[in-house]
Amino acid sequence: MKRIGRILPSLLIGAALLAPGTARAIPVETFEVPPGVSLLVSRQRHIPVVYMVMIFPGGTLAEPAGKGGLAAVTAELLQRGTGAHSSREFATALDAIGAELSVGADNDMLTVTLSSLTDRLDEALELLAELLASPAFDPTAFEKVRSQALAALTAAEEGPGFLARRSMLEALYSNHPYGRPRNGTEASLATLTVGDCRAYWKRVSGPSGAIITAAGDVEGSDLAKRIRKRLAPWLAGSGKVFKEIPPLPPPRKPAFAKIDGPFTQTTVLLGQRGIARTDPSYYAIQLFNYSLGGGGFSSRLLDEIRDNRGLVYAVYSRFDARVLPGPFQIMLQTKNASAREALALVRKEVRKALDEGISKKEIEDAKGYLIGTYPRRYDTNAKIARFLAATAFHGLGTDYDRVYPEKIRAITREEANKAARELLDPSRFETVAVGNLEAAGFSDR
């Protein structure tokens, strides 16, 4: 994700708001800007700066078949000039008013962010309107962006972690958009045209259904008025709203994928489809996974396989919760000679955790960590705006900073273990190994 303009300092908000266990919610005002933009504003008076986030549903989900990487290329191209300004002129105009603008593509959404001094906000919004309503989609800039994407892909393919994740996503999701890298493949990038980018942007950039969040020194009603005036060309434009979410294909029979290479260590991924972000089991699974392998400093996998046995450099588990069930993955990195033993031990520890269940102490430790660190997700204006955008996108409510700790606190040990047993099945895990297969002992599998 490219950033245009001068980088603004981090904007800390009041410590009283952020104290762990606080009952106060982030102050939020909500508005609807015709023809259907959801606007959420958190007034933070400490520094005269406003940070805004815009969410357009779609992301890679809106890419046509065979066009992997289109969302990412479009996001980058949007920043390369408008109908009124060349790429350099646009960057200079933002820098002149101390603003920063960026566009990024995710699996489920396209995100536009804008930082501006409060007294230059109108000028910043006018530049944002140009990007939204009249991006240049310059053919020369497109070729440069695509070349950069291909170069970045070539560099990434030298890393075993990238190769393992790409293979895992393909195994879990086949030809679904979730099954391909967000930055595409060499073959898919070669098919892209500037016309594809223009069509993609029209497909996802409609104001009805878009979300705008803001945190900083601005009144909500004032910002709503400014948006109606300054973003009028976009609000009246012809962009559509993406709603056609492609369903996941049936899961396939699990397999063991092996990628051989001259690597000095082996990277192994185990995984299956996990849960959607709005799944009621999300909170229980968070607690179980923290104890299994999601704890940054202590977890069953980390304690047993790295600390006690010394078999791996790193091991962790994580759920990537999305609009649709995202992947659950366990990754380990080890010496080639230790790969088979480490893999067997991971499977054993997962089965043990499911069979015996996570203990009461483990659950309480997980609750303490997740609740205690949660305020860090919104301890700057930028984080507040992103936090509100994510919670609005998933329909979690404007008081989610208060709701989340309550939901985590309410989960029992029995509920966490039950949720994990219902979801996780080690016999259904896909497995990917990237390394020197002969040295790792995988050449015969």
Residues 134 and 267 in one domain: no
Which of 235, 264, 288 delimits the end of a domain? 235
* Tens-digit pLDDT profile for residues 188-239: 999 999 999 999 999 999 999 999 999 999 999 999 999 999 999 999 999 9
State the CATH number of the domain containing residue 47: 3.30.830.10
342: tokens are: 């480490």
What is the mean pLDDT of the segment spanning 120-124? 98
Per-residue confidence (pLDDT) for residue 117, from 0 to 100: 98
Residues 11 and 92 in one domain: yes
Q: How many domains does the chain have?
A: 2
> pLDDT averaged over the chain?
93
Asked if residue 251 has pLDDT above 90, the reply is yes
Asked if residue 130 has pLDDT above 80, the reply is yes
Asked if residue 408 has pLDDT above 90, the reply is yes
Q: How far apart are CA 150 and CA 144, in angstroms?
A: 10
73: tokens are: 């290329």
- Could you tell me the pLDDT band of residue 269, with boundaries at 50, 70 and 90? very high
Calculate ∠ Cα 189-190-196, nearest 5°: 70
Residues 174 and 302 in one domain: no
Residues 280 and 134 in one domain: no
Identify the CA nearest to 211 among candidates 25, 401, 399, 33. Answer: 33
Which of 235, 265, 282 delimits the end of a domain? 235
Residues 224 and 277 in one domain: no
Asked if residue 2 has pLDDT above 80, the reply is no
Asked if residue 332 has pLDDT above 50, the reply is yes
Per-residue confidence (pLDDT) for residue 4, from 0 to 100: 53
Host domain of residue 211 = 3-235
* Tens-digit pLDDT profile for residues 347-396: 999 999 999 999 999 999 999 999 999 999 999 999 999 999 999 999 99
Per-residue confidence (pLDDT) for residue 161, from 0 to 100: 96
Per-residue confidence (pLDDT) for residue 435, from 0 to 100: 96
Q: Alpha helix (H) ranges present in 193-338?
A: 194-204, 220-230, 232-235, 282-289, 300-301
